[in-house]
Amino acid sequence: TPSAVQKIKQLLKDKPEHVGVKVGVRTRGCNGLSYTLEYTKTKGDSDEEVVQDGVRVFIEKKAQLTLLGTEMDYVEDKLSSEFVFNNPNIKGTCGCGESFNV
């Protein structure tokens, strides 16, 4: 989303050695999977690259099918600010929202 693009641009502005962010999934939590998001200096050999308004997002190979069709957003409210993933592949989430399954 435009909000996520702007936040990533802002975060990368102070990190000129990084070319973008990498999104992945890890086994974690009571429901199985959770998202990972980290700065990256290079595109991995098997990463899928998505460029949106000049922002480069790399998707780890093992996460590509899980994240197919997912929208990444950045949401701020009075108590928190976070990247949110709107993933149409999710079959269920845990009560606290920290993990999901497909």
Number of folded domains that form the chain: 1
pLDDT in tens, 7-26: 999 999 999 999 999 999 88
> 42 lies in a domain?
yes
Which residue has better confidence, 77 or 28? 77
Structure-block tokens of residue 97: 């929202």
Strand partners, 34: 26
H-helix or E-strand spanning residue 20: strand 20-27
Cβ atoms 19, 43 nearer than 8 A:
yes
Residue range 61-70: mean pLDDT, rounded? 87
Residue positions counted in the chain = 102
> 101 lies in a domain?
no
**Could you tell me which residues come within 8 angstroms of residue 97 by beta carbon, excluding any fewer than 6 positions away?**
none
Closest CA to 59 of 24, 17, 18, 14: 24
30/95 Cα distance (integer angstroms): 9
Q: Which CATH number covers residue 18?
A: 2.60.300.12
Which residues form the domain of 85?
A: 2-93
> 98 lies in a domain?
no
Question: pTM higher than 0.85, yes or no?
Answer: no
